[in-house]
Structure 1
Amino acid sequence: MSETKRILPSVIGSQSNPVGLMSGDKMNERAAELTKTIKTHLQTMRPWDSEFLNKEQFAKPTSSAEVKSRLEGNLSFFAVNYILVCAAVGCIAVLLNWHLLILAVILGGAWFWLLSQPSSIKIGDHSIAKVHAQVALAAVSLLLVFLFAGTVVFAIIGMSAVLVLGHAIFHKGKCEEEDEETGI
């Protein structure tokens, strides 16, 4: 029993931090950084009703040059909206497939635990660099995702691509609106 008590803290964490998670201050710091980054990016999101989904802004392109121009302009102009559309497609797919939901929770927990560890992880008498553990967990994550949810992942990628590229091609875009207003 004393042997177990001696090994366990080195495997899971320290005696003062038995689970091995980040301290509250460090987590609050990272959460604040993440919140600031998200807020910064969300400020560039375009309005859904008046710009992104406005029926009057959709038209069939007349040439391949126009398709290229719309793709280039709209992909950058509506980038945050497109990211949110892809995230929504992914969330819907995860919620509709219970095995993917369970896998997401398990892998999310594993990544949360790993990312909250110090620069090296001690397992018994051995120490593993955090970067090596991250590479191993990334490989395991990819393997598990493709084994248990490969078709769903490709369906998410395909549906997201169709929605984003379809919108980008058929939406007139801001460049054309400005050209029409100025008469150029």
Structure 2
Amino acid sequence: MSSSSSIKLQPWNDFIEWGRYSIPGSQNAITRMEDNLNFYSGNYIAIVAVVLLITLFTNMNLLVAILLLGAIGYYLFFVQKGDKNIGFAVLTPMIQMVILGVVSVIVIYKLSGLTLFYTTLVSLLFVLAHSALKMRNLKNKASNFVSGIKNDLKNELK
């Protein structure tokens, strides 16, 4: 298999196909998870994004707070790049990122309790469970193998 990957949304009927689930053996589980996480990465991202958006739109205070925190982050890291002098201290971009991260976690926790964290956790658990239980058919494996070879050839020809 190729180590190169691209995020591509696979057909939903193939993603859901009910007859293709089984509990893997302990040796097969990691390989199956890696293959599925690679192959269905677009579908997994879409599911996590939809669940997070539903959570945000059901809690308007949280949505406004996240938009404000995003705007502050954009301002700090794209508009006003570099170190910031605040009184006697110099804040490097790394320190700014840590401060923004801590403030973001506190604000999100205060506004949503643990709702956002729980929805993220449930989404990620769904992704891991699906990737472990879903058996891909031979057609999907062959398609993934061929696209990996194509990507490798493109990279070598550059």
TM-score category by the smaller chain? Answer: 0.5 to 0.7
SS for the counterpart of 2:115 is helix
| Higher RCO (Cα < 8 Å, 6 or more apart) | 2
Does the 8 Å CA contact 2:10/2:42 hold for their aligned counterparts?
no
Q: Which runs of 5+ in 1 are unaligned?
A: 1-40, 180-184
1:74 to partner: Cα distance: 0.9
**Which runs of at least 4 in structure 1 moved beyond 3 Å after TM superposition?**
62-69, 122-131, 174-179
User: How far is the alpha carbon of 1:65 from its aligned partner?
Assistant: 3.5
> Identity of counterpart residues, as a percentage?
23
Pairing partner for 2:7 from 25, 44, 52: 44
Unpaired segments of 5 or more residues in structure 2?
Answer: 143-158
| Residue of structure 1 equivalent to 2:95 | 132
Greater Rg by CA = 1
How far apart, CA to CA, are the structure 1 residues paired with 2:138 and 2:31? 9
Alpha-carbon contact 2:57-2:63 (below 8 Å) kept: yes
Taking structure 1 as the reference length, what is the TM-score of the superposition?
Answer: 0.60
3-state SS, counterpart of residue 90 of structure 1: helix
TM-score, length-scaled by structure 2: 0.68
* Separation in structure 2 between the aligned mates of residue 66 and residue 175 of structure 1, nearest angstrom: 16
- Match of residue 98, structure 1, among 34, 57, 60: 60
Shift of 1:178: 5.0
Q: In the alignment, residue 60 of structure 2 is paired with which amino acid? A: W
Candidates 114, 122, 126, aligned match of 1:163: 126
Please tell me whether the aligned partners of residues 75 and 168 of structure 1 are also in contact (alpha carbons under 8 angstroms).
yes
Aligned equivalent of 1:79: 41
Summarize the Cα distance change of 1:63–1:100 in structure 2 as closer, same or farther, 3 Å threshold: same
In the TM superposition, what are the counterparts of 1:1-184 in structure 2 within 5 Å?
A: 44-56=7-19, 58-61=20-23, 63-115=25-77, 116-123=79-86, 128-174=91-137
Instruction: Say which SS state the counterpart of residue 173 (structure 1) adopts.
Output: coil
**Does the C-alpha gap of structure 1 residues 130 and 89 become closer, same or farther in structure 2, counting only changes over 3 Å?**
same
Change (3 A) 1:123 1:70: same
Corresponding pairs, count: 137
Alpha-carbon distance in 2 for matches of 1:94, 1:158 = 15
